[in-house]
Structure 1
Amino acid sequence: MEESTLWWLITGAAVIAELLTGTFYLLMLAIGLAAGAIAAHAGAPTAVQLVLAALVGTAAVVACHLVRKRRPPSQPATSNRDVNLDVGESVSVEQWSPDGTAQVKYRGAQWTVVLRPGNAPSPGTYRVAEVIGNRLLVDKL
């Protein structure tokens, strides 16, 4: 069996492992393995194939890590509009309880509304800032 065939089989196994586990870094290592296969096709000695695969795979993993590190951190799911469509919606509060909560009808159900710290409880329209369990954390509009 040709060396390049072995490289391609190992590359395929790394891609399959990445698909099963969702580990993006395995895909970067598969790029390094593909570089080893290309080197085998070019007729490079085994030592050069191994070194090239290691260097390309390592460079791809480091580049992926640096790109991910530079991205701003995502919001928690409780306040992320992409995850929770209730965030940003408005609710109407008619009366606040002495404990700082209120009951509102929202989406056909009763919800407990809690004011975000720094807001004064007063009747009116509020924007949902976060959903914490079965409570809506709101800001005054």
Structure 2
Amino acid sequence: MWFWFGVAALFLLLEMATGTFYLLLVALGLVASGTAAYADLSLVWQIISGLAVSLIGLVVLHRYRQSKGHVPTQSNPNVVQDIGQSVIVDAWDENGQGSVFYRGSNWSARIDVDQPVHPGRHYIQAVQGLTLILRPGQYSASDTQH
């Protein structure tokens, strides 16, 4: 029983360090497993109860995020200051990748899915790591809602 609660506390600490809700769901599942152990249920039921609580929490979180029109962080202009900024692409390679000069340095760039590949002015649609995801034309806030 104490094992489950101890591991749950560890996951709560990890949750506070990362800021995601997924580790919180795992911690809640571990608490459910500890509660099942406290009720003298077998190890199989302890594991099943922990998995059930974690999976139910995941489904609830997923549906909540969908109902709020969740925009991924990498393409959210309220989070990433680069969204909507324009850059000039001199050339693309055959894979739809290139290099652009932006904010004083060279960045890797990739054309967004289903967009035409041609040089010229593009705007930043998303930032994935150190790669700018670009679209041709002018920025429109509705473009981030996919």
TM normalised by structure 1 equals 0.49
Q: Which has the larger radius of gyration?
A: 1
TM normalised by structure 2 equals 0.48
